[in-house]
Amino acid sequence: MWGRCKGAVVRPNVISQFPADDYVRAMFGKSLLLAAALLPAPAFAQSIGDVVSGHLVSGWRLEGGSQMAAIRIELAPGWKTYWRAPGDAGIPPRFSWQGSQNLSGFAPHWPVPDVFVQNGLRSVGYDGVVTIPIELHPQDPTAPIGVEGKMEIGVCQDICIPATIVFSADLPPGPGADNPVIRAALADRPKSAREAGVGAVICRTEPISDGLRVTVSIEMPRMAGDEAAVVELSDPSVWVSEPAVSRSGGVLTAVSEMVPSEAAPFSMARQDLRITILAGGQAVDIQGCTGG
């Protein structure tokens, strides 16, 4: 039977292990440790349903006509899944909306993630229960959104397995139901550079044999706890190393190497750089930098 919430019809969700297609092989191939840990289904003693469950939370319509919904993921104790930029020891999540009706785009609102270190490898993600708000953009704001989607994720403990959450819903126009779980996840967001008191953000680049080395100097107050950085480019095909982070007074420095698919030096648009600083359960999201 379908569940109903103020006119929204949310169909039963399915979570299962999905086949190791080119995407999964590529993601696991980034780390030899993960590649070795990707076991065939018969070798995995636990049911995937015992490890992770997930469902769509229908949410409400925003004033502009978009739908604020969410994917809620529950993990068994000791298991984790990953943020949008998971690091070499993680698997990036992937969304698909094929078959949806009246849907022109979407925007995830990622809560602040945690930093995990295991066997000397760093990953960035979540454990326990995580709610990921998803803003759905309809083509016609006055019409229902027919959602047919899936979220492909990696879940890891001592081994890593790929899994998919499949969801389906009919989301009518109208206010819908305000959801405190989604509200809490939206509130658990990184601070903007302005909110965090960030000053100048200066990038220096130098070519290396197979790409580019980027040094980012950020004027910002020290955060509580050990500070870690994640550096991203808008082009996901460029591999970005885990940054080496240091601090001198009010300036945090992150040094990262970037290698494109052709493994050669390249030009980087500084406005395409995104830096996230993580520490003590908080995060700062910095968009772009200037030359120096």
Q: Which of 10, 8, 17, 15 is nearest to 56 (CA)?
A: 10
Cβ–Cβ under 8 Å, residues 264 and 238:
no
The predicted pLDDT at position 50 comes to 87
pLDDT in tens, 142-162: 999 999 999 999 999 988 899
Residue reference for tokens 């080496």: 244
Most confidently modeled range among 24-28, 45-49, 55-59 = 55-59
Whole-number pLDDT of residue 31: 37
> Is the pLDDT at 274 greater than 70, yes or no?
yes
Residue 128 DSSP label: S
Choice among 3-7, 237-241, 261-265 with the minimum mean pLDDT: 3-7
Report how far residue 213's alpha carbon sits from residue 78's, in angstroms, rounded to the nearest whole number: 35
Question: Does position 223 have pLDDT exceeding 70, yes or no?
Answer: yes
Q: Measuring CA to CA, how many Å separate 201 from each of 16, 86, 231?
A: 43, 23, 13
CB contact at 8 A, 133 and 115: no
Which pLDDT score, from 0 to 100, does residue 49 have? 80
- Whether the Cβ atoms of residue 178 and residue 147 lie closer than 8 Å to each other: no
Average pLDDT over residues 52-77: 95
Q: Is the pLDDT of residue 6 over 50?
A: no
Q: Rounded to whole angstroms, how far apart are CA atoms 47 and 143? A: 39
Average pLDDT over residues 263-290: 96
Q: How far apart are CA 206 and CA 208, in angstroms?
A: 7
Q: What integer pLDDT is reported at residue 56 of this predicted model?
A: 95
Domains annotated on the chain, with CATH: 3-187 (2.60.40.1250), 191-291 (2.60.40)
Sequence length of the chain is 292
pLDDT tens, residue by residue, 159-201: 889 999 999 999 999 887 789 999 999 999 999 999 999 999 9
What does the mean pLDDT of the chain come to? 86
Closest by Cα among 250, 244, 247 to 221: 250
Predicted TM-score of the model (pTM): 0.85
From CA 151, how far away is CA 153, in angstroms rounded? 6
- Which pLDDT score is estimated for 42? 38
Is the Cβ–Cβ distance between 200 and 216 less than 8 Å? no
Give residue 137's Cα distance to chain centre.
Answer: 19
Is residue 7 over pLDDT 90? no
**pLDDT value at 95 more than 90:** yes
State mean pLDDT over 80-108: 95
Q: What is the pLDDT of residues 224-251, one digit of tens each?
A: 999 999 999 989 899 999 999 999 999 9
| pLDDT classification of 8: cutoffs 50, 70, 90 | low
pLDDT at 270 > cutoff 80: yes
Query: Sorting pLDDT into bands at 50, 70 and 90, what band is 23?
Result: very low
Give yes or no for a contact between 102 and 76, defined as CB atoms under 8 angstroms apart. Answer: no
